[in-house]
Amino acid sequence: MLKLDISTNDDINDDNFKVYKSSLENSQDIIILLNLYGKIVYVNKKSLEYYGYSKDEFLSINICKLRNIHNNSTDMDKHIKNTENKRIEFQTVHYKKDGSSFPAEISCVRVNHNSEILILNIIKDITDTIEKEEEMQLLASILENSDDAIISKTLDGIITSWNRGAELIYGYNKDEIIGKSISILLPEESKEDIFLILDKVKNNIKINHYETLRVNKDGKKLFISISVSPIYNSNKDVIGAYTIARNITGKVSRERELRDKYEELTSIYEELTATEEELRTNYIELGKAKTEAENANAAKSQFLANMSHEIRTPLNGIIGAVELLNLMNLSKDEQPYIKILKNSSKHLLNIINNILDISKIESGNIDVSIKVFDFKNMMDRLIKEISFACTNKQLEFTYFIDPLIPHKIAGDELKLKQVLINLFNNAIKFTDKGSIMLKVKLQSQLNEKIILKFCIKDTGIGIKNKFQKNIFKKFTQQDISYNKYYAGTGLGLSISKELVKIMNGDIWFESTEDKGSTFYFTSQFLLDFSESAYNSSNNLNTNITFSLSKSDKTILIVEDNDINMKITCDMLKKLGYNYICAYNGKQALELLETNNVDLILMDVQMPELNGLDTTKIIRKNEIHNKSHIPIVAMTAYSMSGDREICIESGMDDYIAKPFSIRTIRTITEKFLR
């Protein structure tokens, strides 16, 4: 920076000014000379280069122009007054001709030239200085707020600086620790550390990641990793040391736990190795036991199936006989006994169904239970529960129920409600603000079957794309972070999918992360409340009145049990149908050669030729005849999978014994309508 001997107010004569002017002109500092009114009377070359004005432009403007303010004589008087007896310095902002600005440090002095008072301004751009100061402040802030302890000390071990991290680790604040010896932090077993470390620092040796013990204000010992470096003065002499320390107590404890666990596992492995031959022998024995258990389980399932068949066969005769008796004109004395038979038969049938349910649960199979229920009442109750839950979480809840949906329908009410509750629970759990909406529409109707479509929409967290493929799998959740915040097992959607599937429906969703999800599912219900192949339970308490009329349709009954043959024949007779009888599959095939048959009611378990093989022969013959006779299985086998076996053999439908006259009427109307 230019240095001129202009610290006094002595006059500068023309010769002196010429000498000064030459120095001013070639100075690398910005030099501007003003009169008392702030008018610029002289600028050097550096000023022209820096501000972008020409010399004539400079000499025509006031210094206020460079500060981007209006001419202010009061402001100028203040500066003139301040320069009367001394040199003044201040910082401001100056503007260039192109409108850009820079922080400027101004050094002003008052001079006399030819009896005229002038103000000499030496201007310096301090942008770099300010940036360095800000950089230093940022660095100081980072060091001060670091979680690591950053400490400086003299070569005698006296602490000279102490940051926030040091306070967090050791517990002392700055006032308590600065000026004291570093030895206050050392336990007895580490007292010698400080002398070894300071000796290395004095010899310009850095120490990196040295693990040692320290003690905090409460006297608790800590495992610390430290790095120590020398502090130099301007002459490159070592005058102190600074330490960066990190608390590794937790890490050391975990390493010790892992080491102990490793030693424990090693011991276990050695024990396992020592008994390997014994385990191999046990494994072979376990394999045999597993095979025996599987055989026993298969025998149990077969026993249940056989027991079911043997009990259902005579039970069909009892229930059928009771229904036929109920259609007769009975005396008042006889009617109570019929009622006893009805109730006892129903109770016995429930016992059999319970036995079968145990087998289905063990095999993981669940059947749909079709019953008439009030759909509107069920939804009203559910909506009240959901509204209450949404209100508690300050969520808006809206719903729409299609008015075309009948109030009473037949279906599995409990499973439907379970699916809805699962989906609503998810919607409420993963929605912290916004709304939840329910829509139920009548999607389609075909004869007695209707399909309802349900929609549950929320404004919650949504589902990430990478999880959408697996969302219906068991034990699946979106993220471990959500697992911590949103408790749950991840089974709800998997269960809902299986329940919807057995209700002849489908389930799917649309979702956008952070915007919400919409889950859809469909389910099939019945409008015809009579018995069907979907439900083999019997209403034995209903008095049935039939409008009998002669039919030209002929039904072939294939049944080896005399009682069941008699019951089935009498039921068809009551319904007005013609029928012919066969006691096994072989007789049935012979009758089909000489008789025109419109429907076959086929038992499955029969001597000589069973129902499944008989059906396969009939279907094979029909390929040449280009005809098709409906065949309905009429069997006491009602375990899971029996219906599918019958359909795969070529049968058209399936009814399980015991069956009611209402079931026979439904099945005949289905195929002979």
SS3 339: helix
- With 80 as the cut, is the pLDDT of residue 457 above it? yes
- The hierarchical CATH code for the domain 275-350+541-673 is 3.40.50.2300
CATH of domain 371-526: 3.30.565.10
Do 600 and 555 meet the contact criterion of CB atoms below 8 Å apart? yes
615-628 pLDDT, tens digit each: 999 999 888 878 89
Q: What is the pLDDT of residues 638-655, one digit of tens each?
A: 665 678 889 999 999 988
Q: Pick 71 or 102 by higher pLDDT.
A: 102
pTM for the complete prediction?
0.34
Nearest-10 Cα torsion for 600, 605, 611, 614: -130
- Lowest pLDDT segment from 400-409, 442-451, 537-546: 537-546
DSSP state of 189: G
Please tell me the predicted confidence (pLDDT) of residue 403: 92
Q: Burial letters for 445-478: b for 16+ Cβ neighbours within 10 Å, e otherwise? A: eeeeebbbbbbbbbbbbbbeeeebeebbeeeebb
Would you place residue 550 in the very low, low, confident or very high pLDDT band (cuts 50, 70, 90)? low
Distance between CA atoms of 572 and 663, rounded to whole angstroms? 11
Question: What's the rounded Cα separation, in Å, for the pair 33 and 119?
Answer: 6
Residue spans in the chain of domains classed CATH 3.40.50.2300 = 275-350+541-673
**What is the Rg, in whole angstroms, of the alpha carbon atoms belonging to the chain?**
50
Mean pLDDT, rounded, of the chain: 81
CATH fold group of domain 131-251? Beta-Lactamase (3.30.450)
Residues with Cβ within 8 Å of 467's Cβ and at least 6 positions away in sequence, in order, are 476, 478, 479
Supply 201's token pair: 């620092």
pLDDT digits (tens, 9 = 90+) for 275-331: 777 767 777 878 787 777 666 666 666 666 666 666 777 777 777 777 777 777 777
Token pair recorded at residue 181: 């010896």
> CA 664 from chain center: how many Å?
51
Three-class SS of residue 477?
Answer: coil
Range(s) of the chain covered by CATH 3.30.450.20: 11-125, 131-251
User: Class of 11-125 per CATH?
Assistant: alpha beta
